[in-house]
Amino acid sequence: QALALSGGSPVSMLQVLSVACTGHLDIFANWGHVSSAFVAITGPPAWKALTLGLWENREDFEARSTPVRVIRLLKVVSVQSDPARNGVFLINFINSHGVLEQSAFRHKDRPRDVWVGMLTEFITTVRAAREARRKGGVHPAERRIDSSSQEWSDLTQGSDEDVDEQG
């Protein structure tokens, strides 16, 4: 999926993770109102900061329309499963006014725990990459890897083994 997005050129693990954090969700709003949205990670050069953008549908995202809502990823405090509602997860973040805010989402296209895990992994990796850049280095997740290389094969096979061991 990420390779199709990049046209077959080398990709970084951050790019792969950003694609994994793309899909359809239901959003819980005020007074119990639920609406559908297409969510994707956006960033430079289109946006100043890395954000989780929410569009009404995939077509609006692909047309590069302005998102209905954005959550700055480096302002996210936590991503967690909602223990009271099956299939729902919460994103706690600091909004543009410096106030802690919480948004609730219900999965549609993959399990809730996959959403929680992928968003958490992406945010954690972005923070680690940012820290590596501050120290003058490059985080391994930012390096582009050719999908035909042995390094890519080792990386993807390692992930499959981890899943097999857990499952």
Does the pLDDT value for residue 153 go beyond 80?
no
- Tell me the per-residue pLDDT of 81-96, one tens digit each, with 9 for 90 and over: 999 999 999 999 999 9
Phi, psi of 140 (to 5 degrees): -55, -30
Reported residue count of the chain is 167
Whole-angstrom Cα distance, residue 42 to residue 55? Answer: 12
Per-residue confidence (pLDDT) for residue 167, from 0 to 100: 38
For residue 91 the two structure tokens come to 């994103």
Residue keyed to tokens 């590596």 = 132
Confidence of residue 52 (pLDDT cuts 50, 70, 90): very high
pLDDT at 156: 52
Q: How far apart are CA 74 and CA 129, in angstroms?
A: 12
Report phi then psi at 28, rounded to 5: -90, 125
pLDDT digits (tens, 9 = 90+) for 12-47: 778 888 888 999 999 998 888 999 999 999 988 777
pLDDT per residue as tens digits for the range 57-89: 999 999 999 999 999 999 999 999 999 999 999
d(CA 162, CA 20) in angstroms, rounded, equals 17
- Please tell me which residue, 65 or 146, carries the higher pLDDT value: 65
Torsion, Cα 84 127 54 103, to 10 degrees, reads: 30
Contact 55, 38 (CB under 8 A): yes
